[in-house]
Amino acid sequence: MKLAVFVVALTMTPALAPEEEASRTTEDGIYTAAQAERGKDSYTLACAGCHPLDWYRGAAIKPWNGAPLFNLYDVMATTMPQNNPGSLKQREYLDLLAYILSLNDMPAGKEELPVAPDALKKIVIKWRTKP
């Protein structure tokens, strides 16, 4: 059911228009290791009760391949936690997103995920398979 919510949300969110070319992908080190660590702490407090850690790897995230990162952020920020959607701070949702990216072997970089929605819309999720 949880996977179905993500897949349905993905199909309902528009892809980037041609004039809105993505400037980066999730393979470009778009979050910091420290941000992912904060996200791990937030996961323990807000997400672990409903989502086992393995749920965030692979099957639940792979359908987002090619979508703007904002789309995944928006679904998280408006539907989670399930018992109190939208209750976390914006930075906590971004930290959780960084943690999810790290769980899927997307590399960390030197800058944290941007706060501005327009900046997140210019980052495309690029599925990364382990070498």
CB 94 within 8 A of CB 112: yes
Residue-wise pLDDT for 35-75, tens only, equals 999 999 999 999 999 999 888 887 888 999 999 999 999 99
Strands 24-25 and 123-124: parallel
pLDDT per residue as tens digits for the range 79-130: 999 999 999 999 999 999 999 999 999 999 999 999 999 999 999 999 876 6
The predicted model scores a pTM of: 0.82
Question: CB of 108 within 8 A of CB of 31?
Answer: yes
